[in-house]
Structure 1
Amino acid sequence: MASPFPGMNPYLENPDLWTEVNHRLLTAIADAIAPLIRLRGGKPMPILSEIPAFDYNILISRSNCRPQAQMYGFSLRQKILCFPLPLKSGEVEPNVDLQNLLMGVYERAGFDLAIDYIHEPVPPFKKKEDRVWADSLLLAKGLR
């Protein structure tokens, strides 16, 4: 069964599941880009300014543009954005379809069998309007 959410599934953020989700998603990303690149090392970039107010953020930092970076923000109700994966300067940047990778992880791991959509996710929704929206979505899909 596919995830009922159009983008990020907040139920996957449950601490009981997140370690496995994170591990599988990182593996899926590595598998998706492995034919295009070889893994490279580097230091993480510190965040020097305010993070935009989105539910989820993807920070893209190119070594030749630091301290500048690009922030891709999206809400719970949106599909997860594709983003370019920075490599060495001058190299073609592969696009990472994180939405597709996460949906594949969800299906292969059978998370639909591990998640009880009757209850609120852990951690709970931050905004009441997201809780109402998710309840309506899950009702429409027969999961509540």
Structure 2
Amino acid sequence: MPSPFPGMDPYLEHPDFWQETHNRLIVAIAESILVEIDLLRRGEAMPILNNSIQSDYRVLISRSNRRPLAELYAFNLPDSLPIFLLPLREEDVEPIVNLQELLTGVYDRAGYDYRIDYHRDPIPSLSEQNLIWAKELLQSIE
């Protein structure tokens, strides 16, 4: 079974799964040294100057020739993960990174569909609004 969530699967944030998920995702995009990917709802969000955007998750793209400017992809639990150009050297063509496809591949290869109990609430807990949305989504596919 593929992950039932259209974007980030909040169940992957459980301490039993997150380190493995994070490591596999990092390996999948190992060449992205100029990309900051924040797929955890707990803890401090990555600091971004002059930014009042509130979101569950963020991707920050910083090209060396445009610093200190950067591109921010802010998204929430119901959203698909973003597609972005991976910064390389200035003279290189930047490949397209489909973060959703990468996370879906990590989910499938790790067999999380056999390991995650979607009948329980995710850890860390969701906001009330996101929990209602997640439960409705999961009920719609049962």
Alignment of 1:66-81 (within 5 A): 66-81=67-82
CA contact (8 A) 2:8 2:81 kept: yes
Within 2, Cα distance between the matches of 1:51 and 1:71? 12
Deviation of 1:13 after TM superposition, in Å, equals 0.6
Within 2, Cα distance between the matches of 1:25 and 1:137? 24
Structure with bigger strand share is 2
Within 1, Cα distance between the matches of 2:62 and 2:75? 18
Gaps of 5+ in 2: 37-46
Q: Which amino acid aligns with 2:24?
A: R
What residue is the counterpart of 2:26 in the other structure?
26
Task: State yes or no: 1:106 paired with 2:107.
Answer: yes
TM-score (norm 1): 0.83
Within 1, Cα distance between the matches of 2:106 and 2:32? 24
Deviation of 1:101 after TM superposition, in Å, equals 0.8
Q: SS of the counterpart of 1:65?
A: coil
TM-score (norm 2): 0.84
Within 2, Cα distance between the matches of 1:3 and 1:40? 24
What residue is the counterpart of 2:133 in the other structure?
133
Within 1, Cα distance between the matches of 2:33 and 2:128? 41
What residue is the counterpart of 2:41 in the other structure?
none
Q: Which amino acid aligns with 1:130?
A: N
Larger radius of gyration: 1
What residue is the counterpart of 1:4 in the other structure?
4
Deviation of 1:141 after TM superposition, in Å, equals 1.3
Q: SS of the counterpart of 1:83?
A: strand
How many residues in Structure 1 have an aligned counterpart in Structure 2?
131
Segments of 4+ in structure 1 off by > 4 A?
39-42
Alignment of 1:28-47 (within 5 A): 28-30=28-30, 39=31, 47=48
Cα deviation per residue 1:61-116 (whole Å; 9 max; x = unaligned)?
01111111110111111111101111112321111111011011101100111111
> Pairwise CA RMSD of aligned residues?
1.9
Within 2, Cα distance between the matches of 1:41 and 1:96? 13
Within 2, Cα distance between the matches of 1:122 and 1:51? 26
